[in-house]
Amino acid sequence: MFLVTGATGHLGSAVVSQLLKKTKASEISVLARDENKASALKTKGIDVRIGSYDDTSSLDKAMQGISKLLLISGNGPNRLQQHKNVVIAAKKAGIAQIVYTSISIKNMKTAAIRPIMESISLTEDLINESGLKYTILRNTLYTAGTPLFGGDKVLKTGIFLPTGDGKVPFALRREMGEAAGNVLLHNGHENKTYEITGSTLYSYEDVARELSALSGQTVSYTDADPSVFVTKIKDFGLPEIVNQIVAGFSADVKNHQFEKVTKDLENLLGRKPATLNASLKEIYNL
Ligand SMILES: NC(=O)c1ccc[n+]([C@@H]2O[C@H](COP(=O)([O-])OP(=O)(O)OC[C@H]3O[C@@H](n4cnc5c(N)ncnc54)[C@H](OP(=O)(O)O)[C@@H]3O)[C@@H](O)[C@H]2O)c1
């Protein structure tokens, strides 16, 4: 029996879709905080276990009878403690393997996003120390992050980001979910760490060029001055923490922190990942 956390979110939904293609709904359980959000999964015959990373007794109950667990990284300020709660519950329940979605970055210790994101990488240590069999899926940046990073009106306004000529091996979240599903479905991934990346590095200038070609409009890229950017981003009306995340990731892109390309995603999918062109077409409905 599989337990997928984060199944009411984007990545977890993609994992569950892949599992449903290859196995029976009765083999799948999900952890969900909100019963209503999980109602569509329940209708499909999936066992919805209500719980939260913050609530240890709910985690103990949710782990019962589970052999493989997918822990999708959380997004709150207590992330490390939350992940620790999940790992402890998994260990207590004697699950056979934990699969965890981490982050693909060259050096978290020197990263601008370290204060906010280091908990994601530190969870790998918790998992290692637990002695559980594991698979770590270090995910690169989602192509779907482009509307957030560039602003949701990017086709009209162009991309204004302080990312210089830094590049990212963008990947489709849907395909990352499919790959994670395949890791759960097949043996042979125990105690392995994969860097889940697209097959090509692209700059945001490349993203702008592809968007121009797809939309028939000129989508410009401006390499923003970081100090101007920090002021301008406030106009987008996003929460301050999101502004910090976008500024931090942009600085790390500029510093070439995401420039890692592997064939791990391709191998787990059994085909080449979607190109940037195909991914942007899907995301922007072009
Ligand atoms: N690689 C990237 O570019 C990138 C970008 C953004 C985020 N991420 C990371 O990847 C994760 C998955 O991405 P996503 O796009 O699927 O995010 P998402 O759509 O926001 O989904 C997050 C999921 O985690 C669940 N969750 C959050 N806190 C929880 C808690 N305390 N207890 C139980 N469940 C909890 C959410 O439940 P609810 O539905 O109840 O909220 C939701 O199902 C994110 O959480 C974040 O850590 C990566």
- pLDDT for 189 beyond 90: yes
Q: What is the pLDDT of residue 233?
A: 87
Residue 104 to residue 123: CA distance in whole angstroms? 13
Residue 159 to residue 43: CA distance in whole angstroms? 41
85 in ligand 1 pocket by Cβ < 6 Å?
no
For residues 221-253, one letter each, b for 16 or more C-beta atoms within 10 angstroms of the residue's C-beta and e for the rest, the string is bbbbebeebbeebeeeeeeeeebbbbbbbbbbb
What is the Å distance from ligand 1's center to 159 Cα? 25
142 in ligand 1 pocket by Cβ < 6 Å?
yes
Nearest CA to ligand 1 atom 25: 6
Please name every residue paired with 68 in a beta bridge, in sequence order, or none if there are none: 2, 97
Tens-digit pLDDT profile for residues 125-155:
999 999 999 999 999 999 988 877 777 788 8
Tens-digit pLDDT profile for residues 161-184:
999 999 999 999 999 999 999 999
Which atom of ligand 1 is found nearest the CA of 7? Answer: 43
Length of the chain: 286
DSSP 202: E
Tens-digit pLDDT profile for residues 64-120:
999 999 999 999 899 999 999 999 999 999 999 999 999 999 999 999 999 999 999
- pLDDT for 237 beyond 80: yes
Residue 107 to residue 98: CA distance in whole angstroms? 24
Q: What is the pLDDT of residue 114?
A: 98
For the chain, what percentages of helix, strand and coil (3-state, to nearest 5) are there? Answer: 50, 15, 35
139 in ligand 1 pocket by Cβ < 6 Å?
yes
Question: Of the candidates 49, 59, 53, 117, which has an alpha carbon nearest to the alpha carbon of residue 90?
Answer: 59
Q: What is the pLDDT of residue 217?
A: 94
Q: What is the pLDDT of residue 83?
A: 98
**Structure-block tokens of residue 112:** 């601008």
82 in ligand 1 pocket by Cβ < 6 Å?
yes
What is the Å distance from ligand 1's center to 252 Cα? 21
- pLDDT for 245 beyond 90: yes
Rounded to two decimals, what is the model's pTM? 0.97
Mutate to test the pocket of ligand 1, among 29, 33, 56, 75 (most ligand atoms within 8 A of CB): 75
Q: What is the pLDDT of residue 153?
A: 83
Which atom of ligand 1 is found nearest the CA of 10? Answer: 16
What is the Å distance from ligand 1's center to 4 Cα? 12
Q: What is the mean pLDDT of residues 47-63?
A: 98
Q: What is the pLDDT of residue 238?
A: 86
53 in ligand 1 pocket by Cβ < 6 Å?
yes
